[in-house]
Structure 1
Amino acid sequence: MHIPTCGTDQQPITPFSQALDEALLPQADYDVSRWLYVPNRYCDYRYILGTRGSRPLICVGINPSTAAPNALDNTLKSVERIALGNGYDSFIMFNVYAQRATRPDDMEQTCNPYLHQENMAAFRWALEQTSSGAPTVWAAWGAIIEKRPYLVRCLSDMLQIGRELGACWYSAGARSKKGHPHHPLYLRKDSTLDPFDVSLYVEQSLSAISLLP
């Protein structure tokens, strides 16, 4: 269980580029030739956790929990199984918001613009890791995106970056009545990826937010 001790604006945030440089150095507790872990230490935020390869499946959740290299939680184990089962050689777990919180209700009430900016730099980098063809992004956040209004706005920024880099978006499993893509945890291990119209999803979600009191 990870419960944030304070808001991310009350603690130092390492820029993504610096955190990535540090994560590429040899580590005592995991093999950097296999793992991507940015930052390379356990703290109140995480940009990326995944494995190395030339054709990664980029899975997008809402926010990180306690998983780390050699210590994947059940969600990340499912992500890795589905990535490999669909022909990808690796996976990158990314999140709409980088604050670590096991319970989404513990996420901060307002978006930290600096943390979001650096998280978007991480997303751009993740998309650039596909050596050939279009980057593949798996939308996998479930209804948790409703927890904070700023999450859809963060996703909207991701959509723009994805457009610039030609990303193709997919979901797996049944979508909710509101159109939310299925969370990875309870998916069959042989689940396949289906095209996901993220542009329409973001448009409808932003409209729903504008109607909130």
Structure 2
Amino acid sequence: MNQKPIICIPENDPKIRYILGRKGFNNLLVIALNPSTATAVKHDGTTDNIDKIAAVNGYDGWVLFNLSPQRTQYPHLLDVEPNDTCFAENRNLMEAVVMNEEWGISNIWLAWGNNIIERNYLKEQAYSMLDRLQKYDLKYWHIKNTLKGHPYHPAKQPINRYIGPVATIRLLPLEIKAYFRSLKPLGLDRDFTIRTMKE
């Protein structure tokens, strides 16, 4: 099977990556924590697993965004304060992909893991990104919840240790309303009102 080349935006920036993906006929949008070393020509452990798990679940294409677009192999080295300009661009590009009929996005895999608590702004960004997506007809998935209630990250080590071979991993429906509520900033009353969600 001839696969299309991987898209990376920006293509050769060692500090920032907004988009990584391969467009197919059936595409899955993934939101993880932050980009590491993967590029248009080389997977890292996480994107290798994303590629394989997407395929196992019937997706021949995928596009990866992250809560933070800052590249680092170690989440504890993420900037202490967010770059608001980069975060706004991250949200805008994500929504542009969802709106783009060529991608045909209808399914979202949430995959950021417990390191969402590494920086306060990561949880705020998750809330903002999900809030932005409410108006679209989307379904939400995960592979497992952590003990702290966050959707598992698909890095090699936790997958191998706690979940099992990627060939056996199935995407599971995520209770998005309850999870969205858990991310809600104090004092904000808005709830998740995605129109496809059934009680």
TM-score range, shorter chain: 0.7 to 0.9
Residue aligning to 1:155:
126
C-alpha spacing 1:153/1:80, structure 2 compared with 1 (3 Å): same
C-alpha spacing 1:132/1:111, structure 2 compared with 1 (3 Å): closer
TM-score, normalised relative to structure 1: 0.76
Q: Residue 176 of structure 2 aligns to which amino acid in structure 1?
A: V
> What value does the CA root-mean-square deviation take over the aligned residues?
2.4
How far off is 1:110 after superposition?
1.3
TM-score, normalised relative to structure 2: 0.81
Q: What CA distance in whole angstroms lies between the structure 2 residues aligned with 1:132 and 1:44?
A: 26
Aligned counterparts, 1:1-213, within 5 A? 34-129=5-100, 131=102, 135-172=106-143, 174-185=144-155, 186=159, 187=163, 188-189=165-166, 190-206=168-184
Q: What CA distance in whole angstroms lies between the structure 1 residues aligned with 2:100 and 2:127?
A: 21
Count of residue pairs brought into register by the alignment: 178
Q: Residue 96 of structure 2 aligns to which amino acid in structure 1?
A: W
Residue aligning to 1:11:
none
Alpha-carbon displacement from aligned partner over 1:7-55 (angstroms, at most 9, x marks no partner): xxxxxxxxxxxxxxxxxxxxxxxxxx52211001132110011112232
Q: 8 Å contact 2:27–2:103 — kept in the other structure?
A: no
Q: What CA distance in whole angstroms lies between the structure 1 residues aligned with 2:153 and 2:40?
A: 21
- For structure 1, the residue ranges without an aligned partner over 5 or more in a row are 1-32
- For structure 2, the residue ranges without an aligned partner over 5 or more in a row are 189-199
State, as a whole percentage, how many aligned pairs show the same letter: 28
